[in-house]
Amino acid sequence: MQGVCSTDQRDQRDPPFLTNAQASLPLRPWGAPVLALGCLIVTGLPSTNAVAACAPPSGSNTTVTCSGATVDQGPGINTGYGDSTQDGLTLNVQTGASVTGTSIGIDVNVNNVINNSGTVTTNGSGGVGDVYGISGNGPLTVNNSGTIGKVDIPNNISDLAGVNAFGPGLVVVNDSTGLIQGAVAVQGNGSATITNSGTISGLVGGGGQGVSVAGGTVNVTNNASGLINGRWRCDQR
């Protein structure tokens, strides 16, 4: 089934393509994380505890491959990969791999494609971190067959959004094995196109939103195997 939301449909409840609708969660203000240059860990002699990495470590208009467990590689501080300046990447998180940032898992700029077959998440502590699983400033395409974002109900911790785009042009394709989660699972601005065959889950029982887009139009196709938990919202702010 397919749903279309425009700016005159604000804060709607229970559209036909959503299930298990929950209460609304205010989203503003969106705070941009403070970014700074970090250090690159270079492994020496082979070791069973060698640090995995996304390679190349930075740059634009290239293909990046993430294997093993990548933690706060940056170059952005508290970021698994990126610092919101990377353009034109095709970034592949391999099956079994993980990219974890204290605050943001993957943070890029515009015209990026992220293919996730592993896990992209955050690992904040002491009230610091847990902002976005994946974040982009402009057009962003996310193809997901793994897990994106964090919801830890026992400890009352979750990402603000599993996938976040500050500008228009967000495209999300969530396969049958895919899970996207957060206080808001998918958050966009201006326009978004979402095709779901897996699970898109806003914080269940805590006022979460499955899909939230500020202004413009969001097109959501929820296939037979798809589940979207949480309310949806598209409005002009």
Per domain, the residue ranges of the chain are: 60-235
| Spatial distance between the Cα atoms of 51 and 68, rounded to a whole number of angstroms | 8
Q: What is the pLDDT of residue 217?
A: 86
| Spatial distance between the Cα atoms of 73 and 66, rounded to a whole number of angstroms | 11
Phi, psi of 183 (to 5 degrees): -55, -40
- For 100-149, how does the pLDDT look when each residue is reduced to its tens digit (9 = 90+)? 999 999 999 999 999 999 999 999 976 788 999 999 999 999 999 999 99
| Spatial distance between the Cα atoms of 237 and 224, rounded to a whole number of angstroms | 32
With a cut of 50, list the residues of the chain below it in pLDDT.
6-50, 236-237
Contacts of 8 (CB under 8 A, 6+ apart): none
Separation of CA 83 from chain center: 15
Which secondary structure element, helix H or strand E, spans residue 157, and what is its range?
Answer: strand 157-158
Q: What is the pLDDT of residue 54?
A: 97
Q: What is the pLDDT of residue 20?
A: 33
DSSP 75: B
| Spatial distance between the Cα atoms of 148 and 227, rounded to a whole number of angstroms | 15
pTM across the whole model = 0.79
Q: What is the pLDDT of residue 15?
A: 38
Q: Give the Å distances, CA to CA, from 203 to 154, 178, 216.
A: 12, 16, 24
Query: Which amino acid is located at 185 in the chain?
Result: A
- Two tokens, residue 208: 């979460």
Q: What is the pLDDT of residue 204?
A: 65
Tell which phi-psi region holds residue 86, choosing left (phi > 0), alpha (psi between -120 and 50) or beta.
beta
